């Protein structure tokens, strides 16, 4: 019986010839990532709960401070200090203010064929490079840090066959929201979303990150693209080598298959309070907004900033809108600075912040008030996600978000 890419990665990590969906295996982890959302709890448990505290291999662990950056309160500072001190003591790679964890991981660590645990749900992003990345809690992460291993239930795989190419003015985010809207918030629960087909070849690694990143919003354990020449060139350009380059076998088992024709995708928006409540963006046009957010591990990369900057160039952000622009990483910020995009945003009246999770995390930067409305390129639109429980969050593409910021109400870029 053939295996899918995900099964092959697990088999390699488990030292098994063959694995099949439903099996539980003990695996060696190639990398563990933890951020300031939970690391303070991991460190506390490390000190208080273990009989024999130890870190199996500090080189496999990465700590990234990205959620509350710069720190917004003494409690945050205490949590981050705990993390910093632990990293210092154990020789763990430590990044603070470098960018959103998944972007930093992709820029600096992730390699095809690796099995990576991250204490953050959007760890599924790493499938863009053909790695198996999945989100876990801090207890799992601690277990991994101590033993270098963990257990996984081998997931079933769903095949997403992509055909055609995205029309002008339609973005990978529109595609992924469309997919989630169709299959539902639990549509890929415990499963792997494998993207393939001619349409996949039209997507850059950054585009693929957008798709993989949101897979968890359909409940997926991870999402994955075959590491093709596009992925391998991207990797080589950054001086890294794959652990293993896997393709799914012809006779691999897929639990389900979907086909999406990229040519037919239109700009969409997810309505509050569920990511799978997806409608064509034109249906929500006219909703007055108080804040707009361009950023996050889903949509804060250079392509997204280019799209947003092209929309606002020569225009002013509406007086009653706070438009936060937050590049996903230092590298993205510097590229945007060099291309003049940062200047364009500043001239338009936007609020440009240092790379961090910002509004998408919703607890300390750009929080929105009672009954306020936000349109965001973030990952989630859950009730109260960005501030007051009565506030509303719409999700849209960078183009839709930027255009809405200018108009003061939701609109698509072609309506300006």
Partner 1 sequence: MSVGKIFKFHNDLDTDQIIASQYLLLPTIDEMKVHAFESLDPEFPVKVKPGDFVVGGENFGCGSSREQAPGVLKALGVQAVVAKSFARIFYRNAINIGLPVIVCRQLPDAVETGDEMDLSLTDGTATAGGETFSCTKLPPYMKKILSQGGLIASLNREEV
Partner 2 sequence: MGQTIVEKIISRNIGAEKVEPGQIVTVKVDRVMLDDIMIPFIVDKFHEMGFCRVWDPDRVVLIYDHLVPSSQLDDIRHYKVGDEFAAKYGIEHVHRSDGICHQLMTEAGYVKPGDVVFGTDSHTTTYGCVGAFSTGIGYTEMAAILGTGTLWVKVPETIRIHISGTLPANVMSKDMILRIIGDLGADGATYRALEFTGDTVERMSVSSRMTMANMAIEAGAKCALFAPDEKTAQYCGVSLDGFQPGLAGDRDAAYLKTLTYRAEDFVPVMACPSQVDKIREVKDLAGLPIDQVFIGSCTNGRLEDLQAAAKVLEGKQVAPFVKLIVTPASRKVYEEASACGAIGTLVKAGAMVTHPGCGLCCGRTGGILWDGERVVATNNRNFLGRMGTSKVEIYLASPAVAAACAAAGAIVCPL
- The footprint of partner 1 (CB under 8 A) covers 24, 36-38, 40-41, 44-45, 49-52, 67-68, 73, 75-76, 78-79, 118-121, 123, 135-140, 142-143, 146-147, 151, 153, 185-186, 189-190, 216-217, 219, 221, 274, 276, 361-364, 367, 380, 382-385, 389
Judged by beta carbon, residue 233 or residue 383, the one nearer partner 2 is 383
Judged by beta carbon, residue 166 or residue 374, the one nearer partner 1 is 374
Judged by beta carbon, residue 2 or residue 186, the one nearer partner 1 is 186
Judged by beta carbon, residue 301 or residue 380, the one nearer partner 1 is 380
- Angstrom distance (rounded) from CA 367 to CA 324: 11
Query: What does 258 bind: partner 1, partner 2, none (CB cut-off 5 to 8 Å by kind)?
Result: none
Q: Are the CB atoms for 352 and 342 separated by under 8 Å?
A: yes
Q: Segment near partner 2 (CB under 8 A), from 23-31, 49-57, 322-330, 396-404?
A: 322-330
Interaction mask 302-321, partner 2, x per CB under 8 A: -----------------xx-
Shortest distance in whole angstroms from residue 119 CB to partner 1 = 6
> Is residue 241 part of the contact set for partner 2 (CB under 8 A)?
no
DSSP label of 353: -
How far, CA to CA in Å, does 61 sit from each of 68, 104, 256, 280, 391? 20, 13, 35, 41, 37
Q: Within 10 Å of residue 160's Cβ, how many Cβ atoms?
A: 27
Residue 89, C-beta contacts closer than 8 angstroms, at least 6 positions apart: none
3-state secondary structure of 293: strand
Q: Are the CB atoms for 108 and 101 separated by under 8 Å?
A: no
Shortest distance in whole angstroms from residue 233 CB to partner 1 = 31
> Is residue 353 part of the contact set for partner 2 (CB under 8 A)?
yes
- Angstrom distance (rounded) from CA 285 to CA 179: 21
Q: Which of 384, 409, 387, 102 is nearest to 396 (CA)?
A: 409
198-234 residues labelled b (16+ CB within 10 A) or e (exposed): ebbebbebbbbbbbbbbbbbbbbbbbbbbbbebbbeb
Shortest distance in whole angstroms from residue 338 CB to partner 2 = 7
> Is residue 188 part of the contact set for partner 2 (CB under 8 A)?
no
Site for partner 2 in 41-70 (CB under 8 A): 69-70
Judged by beta carbon, residue 273 or residue 347, the one nearer partner 1 is 273
Whether a cis peptide bond, with omega within 30° of 0, leads into 70 is: yes
Where does residue 91 rank: exposed (0-12), middle (13-18), buried (19+ CB within 10 A)? exposed
Q: Which of 371, 357, 224 is nearest to 297 (CA)?
A: 357
Where does residue 161 rank: exposed (0-12), middle (13-18), buried (19+ CB within 10 A)? middle
Distance separating the N- and C-terminal Cα atoms of the chain: 54
Query: What does 352 bind: partner 2, partner 1, none (CB cut-off 5 to 8 Å by kind)?
Result: partner 2
> Is residue 76 part of the contact set for partner 2 (CB under 8 A)?
yes
Interaction mask 87-116, partner 2, x per CB under 8 A: xx-----x-xx-------------------
Where does residue 118 rank: exposed (0-12), middle (13-18), buried (19+ CB within 10 A)? buried
DSSP label of 166: P
Query: What does 384 bind: partner 2, partner 1, none (CB cut-off 5 to 8 Å by kind)?
Result: partner 1
> Is residue 355 part of the contact set for partner 2 (CB under 8 A)?
yes
Shortest distance in whole angstroms from residue 327 CB to partner 2 = 10
Among 165, 347, 408, 416, binds partner 2 (CB under 8 A): 347
Query: What does 372 bind: partner 1, partner 2, none (CB cut-off 5 to 8 Å by kind)?
Result: partner 2
Residues that bind partner 2 (CB under 8 A): 69-74, 76-78, 80-81, 84, 87-88, 94, 96-97, 319-320, 322, 324, 330, 333-334, 337-338, 342-343, 346-347, 349, 351-355, 364-370, 372, 387-388
């Amino acid at each position: 019986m053939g295996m899918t890419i995900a099964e092959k990665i697990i088999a390699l990590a488990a030292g098994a010839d063959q694995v099949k969906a439903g099996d539980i295996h003990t695996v060696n982890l190639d990398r563990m990532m933890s951020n300031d959302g939970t690391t303070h709890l991991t460190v506390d448990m490390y000190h208080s709960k273990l009989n024999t505290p130890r870190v199996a291999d500090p080189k496999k662990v990465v700590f990234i401070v990205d959620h509350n950056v710069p720190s917004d309160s003494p409690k945050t500072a205490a949590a981050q200090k705990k993390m910093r001190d632990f990293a210092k003591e154990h020789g763990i790679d430590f990044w603070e203010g470098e960018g959103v964890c998944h972007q930093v991981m992709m820029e600096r660590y992730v390699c095809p064929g690796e099995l990576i645990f991250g204490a953050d749900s959007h760890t599924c992003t790493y499938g863009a490079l053909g790695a198996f990345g999945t989100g876990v809690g801090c207890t799992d992460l601690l277990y991994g840090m101590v033993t270098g291993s963990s257990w996984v239930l081998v997931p079933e795989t769903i095949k997403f066959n992509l055909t055609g190419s995205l029309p002008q003015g339609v973005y990978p985010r529109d595609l992924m929201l469309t997919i989630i809207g169709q299959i539902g918030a639990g549509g890929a629960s415990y499963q792997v979303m494998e993207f393939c087909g001619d349409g996949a070849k039209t997507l850059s690694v950054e585009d693929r990150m957008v798709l993989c990143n949101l897979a968890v919003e359909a409940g997926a354990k991870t999402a994955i693209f075959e590491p093709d020449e596009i992925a391998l060139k991207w990797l080589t350009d950054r001086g890294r080598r794959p652990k293993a380059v896997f393709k799914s076998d012809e006779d691999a088992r897929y639990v389900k298959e979907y086909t999406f024709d990229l040519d037919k995708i239109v700009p969409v928006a997810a309505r509050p309070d569920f990511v799978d409540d997806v409608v064509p963006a034109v249906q929500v046009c006219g909703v007055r907004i108080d804040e707009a957010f361009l950023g996050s591990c889903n949509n804060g990369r250079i392509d997204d900033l280019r799209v947003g900057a092209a929309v606002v160039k020569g225009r002013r952000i509406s007086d009653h809108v706070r438009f936060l622009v937050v590049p996903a990483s230092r590298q993205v910020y510097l590229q945007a600075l060099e291309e003049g995009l940062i200047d364009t945003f500043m001239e338009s009246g936007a609020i440009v912040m240092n790379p961090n999770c910002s509004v998408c995390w919703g607890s300390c930067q750009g929080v929105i008030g009672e009954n306020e409305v936000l349109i965001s390129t973030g990952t989630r639109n859950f009730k109260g996600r960005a501030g007051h429980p009565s506030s509303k969050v719409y999700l849209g593409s960078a183009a839709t978000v930027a255009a809405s910021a200018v108009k003061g109400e939701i609109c698509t870029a072609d309506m300006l």
